[in-house]
């Protein structure tokens, strides 16, 4: 009886078109800060919102390598760090520079992409779990390097006083400020309030989501999916594995770098503490929880794992540090439970849902291991 | 660079290497039977140490304790450092890994990561975030003088104790029934099952043995350094894993060799002048050149059919490896007459670049002969080794444990 | 007549075992050539060498006169060789249509940026691709109509999966089609249907190199048959010639069988 009831409810929800959900979500997202101006929602929550959105962007980026292409990355936060430090070093008192906002956004993404290329190129032929470990090592090397290169990065103290961005550029902003526009408009010339950051990041995330959604259903996205499903068959069907994988890694690195730049501007202060291995794991957790390969899924995963703990903490009134421990504990439990019982995530991508339940008896027929599996020990002129 | 210094650095390297080896064995054995990297293995190492410390405190061991009371307490600590990790390892395999057998590789790996996080956090919740310490005992800091060099007693205990344990493990794997079952399962699980081997039990046993060794490692580290952090498992685990891969994952002696090599590299790296280290790079270059110019062409020529093996063809193959730079450029610039040769030209380029890199590195190191790598960079050494090994030779030194598929 | 494919003294060893031993043969334009032989005779290894999965130890492979030995599989595919697999390697969790679309990857060029922005050029290309994919699927009349195209590939019947793999191989309009046991596991009716389709492919201008065990099919469509055993070519000719060749009979039935047969 109860199951029939839940089935009815699920049926009702399923009949609502996707577009309606997207529109509703967008509406809530856009109106959120408005509630703050009317003091319905506290500013602290807007801050949670900004961070959540930044993690949404990270999840979207990681989804490309993990969800679409099937490459595990346990050092993803390193690209975030590249972006953040690029921006921080070029727009703060540290070296007394203040490069233009747009330039820094693009440059941060480009530098992260270069890093992605450097790590992607030698790891193209690595098998899944080895790749995971290499990326982990890479992430740690980046963090330790940042920590130790003190003349450049201030080491553990990090970079402080990052200048707030001026989206229209310094010259135009100054001119417009002098023209005599109402304050509501001139406020937006310099982005230094949580609400303003919120809309900036929301805008960037929205565009990213749309672009990536287009990509998913395109020739490029199909190639990634094919590689993930069966690399041998994909390569025999004409897909150049190295190019496709590199593209995927570089793109995802670029998105992380871009997010890192926004983070540096928003956060005003960055330090190596924000780029520890655990953070990479958290992003992985967001993608897995939300649903690998599914754009709405990873968005949900990011928001749940970033905002929910804050909500719980507020209502429980727990101490900060104590809460951290429990938060991580629950994260770990979530990963294990999700992976065992619902590896396709909360809002699964249809293809992934089939794929992760692979040891289904009817699937065994479609076994992919042939006698000529080239995964390990490829014949080569190696030593 | 006095002899004393070298000896003490070597002993230091061996000591830490042996600890890594104890942990690495767990990684390699589990990989051998399941082809799976037990990411959470490092945590049982930490648990071993923590439980041992707790046991010592619970038994009221203090600075003054000595004699049979001390011996008894240490024995209890040893037992505890084995039992707790064993129980944890067994449970993890049952709850978090077994249900996922056969799934795409990413799934069990994620589970292992989750388990690792859970265990670390549980350690913090149960024992607190500050590092756990051991009561100060005289023998822990005692040292003897051998051939004029001062050596910590514990270092010798660790080195020889570990050797003993490895000997026991070798006996277990070679001469007992369960050991044979482990070897069979690691070669071909299906065939082993068909031969009547209970693979589930064998796998569980593998986890148990690995966890026991790692737990003892935790106890030894606790005694050697006097304290243990809750996240020690992460770093030690990764380094041990690096060692296992270095020696050839799935290969038991390989794990020990790789771990020792890593321990030595890591210790030498920060304790010795660059000029001295440069000689190792040179040695590596010489070895590499030997393999490249003698071993590989020989093997390559073996595979070529008799009728194809004209003297000219032989010469050109040999040239690729011996005159790699010249030949690489020449073939790339000339017309491709033989697809096979032009593919080899790519290898010639790679070889040349590799050799060049080593030469340049050695040169830079010699130029800065008296400099020394700061200890802050020590963790990076292991990570760099890990990345390099996985990128260029994932099968490790002693080769991967795969059977030839025809 | 044009020679599409030529193998010159191709050899391939794994460790100590010589899987392919100085194999030489050719395939001419518009021919259907079948390779037969007992299990382990090196047929699929030969395919793997041709398609670039392995690099031959010696010998050369020429596609329309151009050497393709040692190229990567995707490069070999770009040169015009498509294949199916003995053990069926579909993208099981992707849709039927997507499987065929993947086969067209190398003939199309929607780039990263263009795809992200969904530029009109990309949209046009997608439309054309889908139309062409449906054309190819229509080659198997009634099998892949309408809603089935959106179904995941694993939901197809076994015979349909084999057909889909052939469709994917055709998607790139290959110069040479390699079919590895296309009718394995099919009943006689299905085999006959596939036989017709292979003939139709030849009539449409394709060149086919096929590995098959089903002698009805081999005899029914092949212009030429090549028999292999222990990695070597032991006979070549029409089906009748090869089927009655004593060496071939011996390979399949053993010496006594050969004696009884003759």
DSSP assignment string, A165-214: P-TT-HHHHHHHHHHT--HHHHGGGS--SHHHHHHHHHHHHHHHHHHHHH
Burial class of residue A288 in the structure, from the number of CB atoms within 10 Å of its CB (0-12 exposed, 13-18 middle, 19+ buried): buried
- Cα A127 to Cα B390: distance, rounded to the nearest angstrom: 10
Could you tell me where the DSSP H helices lie in B59-105?
Answer: 67-92
Give the model confidence (pLDDT) of A66-106 as tens digits.
999 988 899 999 999 999 999 999 998 888 888 889 999 99
Any chain B CB within 8 A of the CB of C92?
Answer: no
Reported confidence tier of residue B93, pLDDT bands at 50, 70, 90: very high
Share the mean pLDDT of chain B. 86
Residue A335 · residue B117 · CB < 8 Å: yes
> A60, A211, A216, A219: which to substitute to probe chain C, counting the most C Cβ within 10 Å?
A219
Question: What sign has the CA pseudo-torsion A33, A39, A41, A42?
Answer: positive
pLDDT, residue A375, reads 34
B164's CB contacts (< 8 A; 6+ apart) are: none
- Cα C29 to Cα C246: distance, rounded to the nearest angstrom: 29
Give the model confidence (pLDDT) of A137-193 as tens digits.
999 999 999 999 988 888 899 999 888 888 887 777 777 777 777 777 777 778 888
Q: Which residue of B has its CA nearest to C67?
A: B339
CB nearest C69 (choices: B305, B339, B404): B339
pLDDT, residue A357, reads 67
Give the model confidence (pLDDT) of B218-249 as tens digits.
999 999 999 999 999 999 999 999 999 999 88
Chain B residues inside the 8 Å CB shell of C21: 305
Buried b (16+ CB within 10 A) or exposed e, A161-197: ebbebbbbeeeebeeeeeeeeeeeeeebbbbeebbbb
A237's CB contacts (< 8 A; 6+ apart) are: A226, C77, C82, C102, C103, C105, C168, C169, C172
Q: Which residue of B has its CA nearest to C61?
A: B339
Give the model confidence (pLDDT) of A45-63 as tens digits.
888 899 999 999 999 999 9
**CA of C234 vs chain A CAs: smallest distance (Å):** 24
Asked if C105 and A222 come within 8 Å (Cβ–Cβ), the reply is yes
Chain A residues inside the 8 Å CB shell of C45: 372
Secondary structure (DSSP) of chain C:
--EEEEEEEEEEEETTEEEEEEEEEEEETT-EEEEE-STTSSHHHHHHHHTTSS--SEEEEEETTEE-TT--HHHHHHHTEEE--TT----TTSBHHHHHHHHTGGG----HHHHHHT-HHHHHHHHHHHHHHHHHHTTSTTTS-GGGGGSBGGGS-HHHHHHHHHHHHHTT--SEEEEESTTTT--HHHHHHHHHHHHHHHHTT--EEEE---HHHHHHH-SEEEEEETTEEEEEESHHHHHH-HHHHHHHHHHHHHHHH-
B398's CB contacts (< 8 A; 6+ apart) are: B247, B248, B251, B253, B254, B257, B258
pLDDT, residue B341, reads 53
* Block residue for tokens 């391939």: C12
Any chain B CB within 8 A of the CB of A210?
Answer: no
pLDDT, residue A321, reads 66
**CA of C17 vs chain B CAs: smallest distance (Å):** 8
CB nearest C68 (choices: B303, B307, B339): B339
* Block residue for tokens 């793109």: A251
Give the model confidence (pLDDT) of A181-193 as tens digits.
777 777 777 888 8
Chain B residues inside the 8 Å CB shell of A332: 114-121
Reported confidence tier of residue A112, pLDDT bands at 50, 70, 90: very high
- The yes/no answer to whether this complex scores an ipTM above 0.85 is yes
Asked if A134 and B391 come within 8 Å (Cβ–Cβ), the reply is yes
Residue C122 · residue C110 · CB < 8 Å: yes
* Block residue for tokens 């090994």: B389
pTM of the model: 0.86
Q: Find, among A367, A234, A238, A372, the residue nearest to C45 by Cα.
A: A372
Chain C residues inside the 8 Å CB shell of A225: 91, 94, 98
Reported confidence tier of residue A370, pLDDT bands at 50, 70, 90: very low
- Cα B235 to Cα B45: distance, rounded to the nearest angstrom: 11
Count other C-beta atoms under 10 Å from residue C200's C-beta.
11
B213: Cα separation from own chain's centroid: 14
pLDDT, residue C224, reads 94
Asked if C57 and B303 come within 8 Å (Cβ–Cβ), the reply is yes
Average pLDDT of the residues in C120-130:
92
- Cα A65 to Cα B133: distance, rounded to the nearest angstrom: 42
**CA of C83 vs chain B CAs: smallest distance (Å):** 21
Q: Is the pLDDT of residue C262 over 70?
A: no
A64's CB contacts (< 8 A; 6+ apart) are: A212, A215, A224, A248, A251, A252, A255
pLDDT, residue B16, reads 96
Chain C residues inside the 8 Å CB shell of B343: 55, 70
């Amino acid at each position: 009886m109860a199951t029939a009831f839940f089935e009815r409810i699920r049926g009702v929800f399923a009949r609502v078109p996707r577009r309606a959900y997207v529109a509703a979500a967008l509406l809530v997202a856009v109106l959120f800060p408005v509630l703050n101006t009317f003091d319905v929602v506290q500013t602290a929550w807007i801050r949670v919102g900004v961070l959540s959105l930044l993690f949404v962007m990270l999840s979207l980026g990681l989804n490309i390598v993990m969800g679409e292409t099937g490459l595990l990355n346990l050092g993803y936060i390193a690209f975030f760090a590249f972006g953040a430090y690029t921006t921080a070093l070029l727009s703060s008192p540290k070296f007394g520079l203040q490069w233009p906002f747009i330039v820094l956004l693009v440059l941060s993404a480009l530098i992260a992409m270069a890093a992605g290329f450097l790590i992607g190129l030698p790891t193209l032929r690595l098998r899944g779990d080895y790749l995971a470990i290499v990326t982990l090592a890479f992430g740690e090397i980046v963090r330790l390097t940042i920590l130790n290169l003190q003349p450049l990065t201030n080491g553990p103290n990090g970079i402080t006083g990052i200048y707030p961005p001026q989206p229209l550029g310094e010259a135009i902003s100054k001119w417009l400020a002098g023209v005599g526009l109402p304050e509501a408009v001139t406020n937006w010339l310099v982005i230094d309030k949580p609400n303003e950051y919120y809309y900036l990041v929301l805008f960037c995330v929205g565009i990213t989501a749309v672009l990536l959604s287009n990509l998913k259903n395109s020739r490029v996205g199909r190639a990634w999916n094919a590689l993930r499903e069966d690399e041998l068959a994909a390569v025999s069907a004409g897909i150049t594995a190295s190019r496709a994988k590199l593209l995927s890694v570089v793109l995802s690195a670029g998105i992380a770098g871009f997010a890192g730049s926004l983070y540096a501007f928003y956060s005003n202060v960055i330090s190596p503490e924000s780029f520890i291995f655990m953070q990479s794991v958290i992003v992985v957790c967001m993608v897995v929880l939300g649903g690998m390969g599914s754009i709405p899924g990873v968005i949900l995963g990011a928001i749940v794992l970033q905002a929910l703990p804050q909500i719980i903490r507020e209502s429980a009134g727990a101490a900060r540090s104590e809460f951290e421990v429990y938060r991580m504990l629950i994260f770990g439990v979530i990963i294990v439970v999700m992976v065992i019982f619902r590896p396709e995530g909360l809002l699964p991508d249809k293809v992934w849902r089939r794929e992760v339940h692979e040891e289904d008896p009817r699937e065994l027929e479609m076994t992919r291991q042939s006698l000529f599996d080239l995964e390990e020990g490829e014949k080569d002129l190696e030593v | 660079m006095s002899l004393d210094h070298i000896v003490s650095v070597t002993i230091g390297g061996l000591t830490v290497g042996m600890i890594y080896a104890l942990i690495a064995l767990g990684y390699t054995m589990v990989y051998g039977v399941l082809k799976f990297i037990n990411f959470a293995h490092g945590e049982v190492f930490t648990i071993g140490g923590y439980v041992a410390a707790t046991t010592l405190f619970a038994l009221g061991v203090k600075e003054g304790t000595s004699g049979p009371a001390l011996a008894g307490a240490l024995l209890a600590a040893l037992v505890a450092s084995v039992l707790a990790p064993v129980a944890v390892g067994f449970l993890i395999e049952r709850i978090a890994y077994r249900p996922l057998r056969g799934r795409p590789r990413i799934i069990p790996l994620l589970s292992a990561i989750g388990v690792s996080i859970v265990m670390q956090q549980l350690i913090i919740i149960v024992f607190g975030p500050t590092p756990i310490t051991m009561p100060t005992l005289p023998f822990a800091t005692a040292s003897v003088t051998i051939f004029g060099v001062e050596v910590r007693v514990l270092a010798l205990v660790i080195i020889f104790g570990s050797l003993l344990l490895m000997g026991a493990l070798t006996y277990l794997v070679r001469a007992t029934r369960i050991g044979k079952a482990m070897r069979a399962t690691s070669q071909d699980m299906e065939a082993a099952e068909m031969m009547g081997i209970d693979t589930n039990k064998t796998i569980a046993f593998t986890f148990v043995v690995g966890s026991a060794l790692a737990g003892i490692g935790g106890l030894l580290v606790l005694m050697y350094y006097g304290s243990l952090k809750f996240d020690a498992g992460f770093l030690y685990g990764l380094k041990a894993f690096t060692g296992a891969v270095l020696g050839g994952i799935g290969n038991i002696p390989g794990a020990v060799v790789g771990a020792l090599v890593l321990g030595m590299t890591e210790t030498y790296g920060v304790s010795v002048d660059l000029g001295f280290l440069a000689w190792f790079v040179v040695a590596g270059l010489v070895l590499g050149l030997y393999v490249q110019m003698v071993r590989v062409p020989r093997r390559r020529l073996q595979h070529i059919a008799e009728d194809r093996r004209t003297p000219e063809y032989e010469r050109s193959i040999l040239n690729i490896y011996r005159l790699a730079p010249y030949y690489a450029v020449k073939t790339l610039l000339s017309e491709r007459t033989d697809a096979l040769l032009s593919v080899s030209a790519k290898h010639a380029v790679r070889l040349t670049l590799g050799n060049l890199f080593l030469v340049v590195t050695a040169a830079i190191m010699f130029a800065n002969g008296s400099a020394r790598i700061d200890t802050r960079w020590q963790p990076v050494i292991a990570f760099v080794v890990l990345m390099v090994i996985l990128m260029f030779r994932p099968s490790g030194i002693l080769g991967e444990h795969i059977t030839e598929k025809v | 007549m044009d020679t599409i494919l030529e193998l010159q003294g191709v050899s391939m060893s794994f460790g100590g075992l010589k899987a392919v031993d100085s194999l030489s043969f050719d395939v001419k334009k518009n021919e259907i050539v079948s390779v037969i032989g007992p299990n382990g005779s090196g047929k699929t290894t030969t395919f793997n060498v041709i398609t670039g999965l392995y690099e031959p130890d010696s010998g050369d492979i020429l596609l329309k006169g151009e050497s393709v030995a040692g190229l990567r599989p995707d490069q070999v595919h770009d040169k015009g060789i498509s294949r199916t697999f003995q053990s069926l390697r579909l993208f099981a969790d992707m849709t039927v249509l997507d499987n065929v679309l993947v086969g067209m990857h190398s003939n199309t060029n929607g780039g990263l940026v263009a795809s992200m922005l969904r530029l009109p050029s990309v949209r046009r290309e997608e439309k054309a691709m889908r139309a062409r994919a449906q054309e190819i699927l229509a080659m198997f009349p009634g099998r892949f109509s309408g809603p089935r195209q959106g179904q995941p590939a694993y939901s197809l019947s076994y015979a349909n999966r084999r057909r889909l793999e052939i469709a994917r191989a055709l998607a790139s309009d290959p110069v040479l089609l390699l079919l590895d046991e296309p009718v394995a596991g099919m009943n006689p009716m299905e085999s006959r249907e596939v036989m017709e389709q292979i003939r139709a492919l030849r009539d449409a201008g394709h060149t086919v190199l096929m590995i098959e065990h089903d002698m009805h099919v081999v005899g029914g469509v092949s212009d030429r048959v090549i028999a292999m055993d222990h990695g070597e070519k032991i006979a070549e000719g029409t089906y009748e010639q090869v089927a009655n060749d004593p060496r071939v009979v011996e390979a399949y039935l053993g010496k006594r069988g050969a004696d009884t047969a003759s």
